[in-house]
């Protein structure tokens, strides 16, 4: 085994050069004349090829180092078939005169030292455009051999790549950036076609002020993933209306004493759930789910209503079963019971399964309206905002009426605007005159 130290050859006039590229990785095999390193002077680049076949033990320089003639570059183990005696490491360099293609202005190029001594056994060629054996237009691009290899492996035509190295030299990062750019533009094309989702940039918020990074609860994580899935999969439309609940509220207040006797607090939510259940029976198209095969829908003959509950751990949706068969007192008891269980973290998985339609009531919090996200595989959700006294035209005059803002979001794959409009109109009718619920 013969170890050889490869040194910087005669530079043809330049005093120092920069190591701009290490062409191999430690342990790589190298054939005679293959490039070991690429050096760069002020005006030109130069490959230093291996004098013979062998294996790279290690580099003795790093990219960015400045070296001069005679400095050690690399340690090579020469193949046993080669005779170390034949190795001549410090041969002068041939400077190859070529027409300047790009980098330097002509005046600068003319101030280059005249070509140095020429030998018949050149170790390296200094050129002001790198030439490493590639032919055609790409051969005139300013890039080192390992960059060319990388480009070939990735199928990149160097002509298309803009170099960011000194004087426009193409470096590996440029190939990376080019490939990423191509992939992103492919993704953008997909985006334009509506079949891809742009990624969210990661932001260091601490650069703007003090922050805390807090772990999401399990419920928050689940909610995030469900909301995201439903937002992306369900083509949402939201239908708005107001229900006049003036009479409903006076009736509800009249039940206060009875409620105390029964031990049940009756809120508008119980009436709304009953109205939804009866409207679902009258509009079975809203009580469907799309089958996962995309060929069928499931028509449900049961009527379970989910109710969003805001808890410190996150949003949960317990399900009030068979709401169409229950009276309003019974529903009110279910609402209170599930709200308490949700806030105490005592809901069981079964309590949150089997919903046909959901209600999200922000009535106690406020707002004129919001567009709820469908809780798939259900196809509809009713968002309820805070009731307000409003002037309503009765045909002769404006009358103060208590109006409840309603927003019905639905899955337009299965529910048409007409279906949604009829369903919403029924809910408004039931809430505006609850006698209809008894019919």
Task: Please say if 412 is a catalytic residue.
Answer: yes
Residue from the set 386, 390, 422, 436 that interacts with ligand CAO by CB under 6 A: 386
Using CA atoms, how far residue 194 sits from 230, 293, 408, in Å, is 16, 22, 25
Per the structure block, which two tokens stand in for 395?
């045909």
Using CA atoms, how far residue 128 sits from 7, 123, 330, in Å, is 22, 17, 89
For every residue of 70-121, DSSP letters joined together read T-EEEEEEE-TTS-GGG----PPPEEPP----SSS-HHHHHTSPPP----SS
First to last CA, the chain: 101
Which member of 239, 296, 412, 436 is catalytic? 412
Using CA atoms, how far residue 37 sits from 30, 164, 295, in Å, is 12, 19, 63
Asked if 382 touches ligand CAO (CB under 6 A), the answer is no
- Write the interaction track for ligand CAO spanning residues 251-280; mark x where CB under 6 A is met and - where it is not: ----------------xxx-----------
Residue from the set 23, 35, 146, 361 that interacts with ligand CAO by CB under 6 A: 361
Asked if 376 touches ligand CAO (CB under 6 A), the answer is no
Residue from the set 179, 219, 237, 362 that interacts with ligand CAO by CB under 6 A: 362
Nearer to ligand CAO, 64 or 263 (CB): 263
Kindly determine how many residues on this chain lie close enough to bind ligand CAO according to the rule CB under 6 A. Answer: 19
Asked if 241 touches ligand CAO (CB under 6 A), the answer is no
**Whose structure tokens read 């406020």?**
366
Smallest Cα–Cα separation from 265: which of 310, 331, 210?
Answer: 331
CA distance 274 to 295: 32
CA distance 384 to 375: 15
Residue range at the interface with ligand CAO (CB under 6 A); choices 180-188, 344-352, 379-387, 424-432: 379-387
Nearer to ligand CAO, 78 or 309 (CB): 309
Nearer to ligand CAO, 6 or 434 (CB): 434
Residue from the set 20, 264, 384, 420 that interacts with ligand CAO by CB under 6 A: 384
Query: How near is the Cβ of 289 to ligand CAO at its closest, in Å?
Result: 20
Asked if 309 touches ligand CAO (CB under 6 A), the answer is yes
For every residue of 351-378, DSSP letters joined together read GG---SEEEEE-TTT--S---PPP-TTS
Query: How near is the Cβ of 149 to ligand CAO at its closest, in Å?
Result: 55
Residue from the set 246, 287, 387, 409 that interacts with ligand CAO by CB under 6 A: 387
Per the structure block, which two tokens stand in for 191?
């985006």
Query: How near is the Cβ of 347 to ligand CAO at its closest, in Å?
Result: 12
Residue from the set 255, 315, 352, 376 that interacts with ligand CAO by CB under 6 A: 315
List alpha helices for 234-267, DSSP H: 246-254, 256-262
Asked if 404 touches ligand CAO (CB under 6 A), the answer is yes
Nearer to ligand CAO, 77 or 310 (CB): 310
CA distance 173 to 435: 74
For binding to ligand CAO (CB under 6 A), which residues are involved? 267-269, 307-310, 315, 335, 339, 360-364, 384, 386-387, 404
What residues act catalytically?
412
């Amino acid at each position: 085994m013969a170890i050889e130290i490869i040194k910087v050859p005669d530079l043809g006039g330049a005093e120092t050069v920069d190591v701009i590229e290490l062409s191999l990785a430690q342990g790589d095999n190298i054939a005679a004349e293959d490039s070991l390193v690429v050096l760069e002077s002020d005006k030109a680049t130069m490959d230093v090829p291996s004098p013979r076949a062998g294996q790279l033990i290690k580099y003795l320089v790093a990219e960015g180092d400045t070296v001069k003639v005679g400095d050690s570059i690399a340690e090579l183990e020469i193949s046993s078939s080669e005779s170390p005696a034949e190795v001549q490491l410090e041969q002068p360099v041939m400077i190859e005169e070529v027409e300047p293609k790009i980098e330097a202005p002509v005046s600068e190029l003319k101030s280059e030292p005249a070509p140095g001594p020429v030998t018949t056994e050149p170790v390296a060629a200094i050129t002001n455009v790198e030439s490493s054996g590639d032919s055609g237009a790409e051969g005139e691009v300013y890039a080192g051999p390992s960059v060319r290899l990388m480009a070939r492996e990735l199928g990149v035509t160097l002509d298309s790549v803009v170099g960011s190295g000194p004087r426009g030299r193409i470096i590996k990062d440029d190939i990376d950036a080019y490939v990423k750019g191509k992939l992103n533009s492919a993704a953008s094309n997909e985006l334009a076609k509506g079949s891809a989702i742009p990624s969210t940039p990661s932001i260091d918020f601490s650069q703007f002020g003090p922050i805390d990074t807090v772990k999401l609860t399990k419920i928050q994580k689940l909610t995030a993933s469900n909301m995201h899935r439903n937002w992306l999969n369900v083509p949402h439309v939201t239908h708005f209306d107001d229900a006049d609940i003036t009479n409903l509220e006076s009736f509800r207040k009249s039940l206060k004493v009875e409620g105390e006797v029964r031990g049940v607090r009756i809120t508008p939510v119980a009436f709304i759930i009953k109205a939804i259940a009866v409207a679902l029976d009258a509009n079975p198209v809203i009580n469907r789910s799309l089958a996962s095969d995309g060929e069928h829908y499931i028509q449900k003959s049961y009527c379970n209503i989910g109710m969003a509950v805001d808890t410190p751990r996150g949003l949960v949706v317990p399900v009030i079963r068979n709401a169409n068969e229950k009276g309003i007192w019974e529903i009110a008891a279910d609402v209170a019971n599930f709200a308490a269980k949700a806030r105490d973290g005592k809901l069981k998985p079964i309590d949150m399964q089997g919903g046909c339609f959901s209600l999200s009531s922000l009535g106690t919090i406020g707002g004129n309206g919001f567009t709820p996200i469908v809780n798939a595989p259900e196809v509809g959700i009713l968002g309820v905002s805070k009731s307000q006294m409003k002037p309503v035209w009765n045909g002769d005059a404006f009358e103060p009426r208590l109006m409840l803002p309603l927003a019905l979001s639905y899955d337009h794959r299965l529910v048409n605007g007409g279906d949604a409009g009829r369903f919403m109109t029924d809910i408004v009718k039931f809430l505006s005159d609850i006698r209809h619920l008894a019919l």
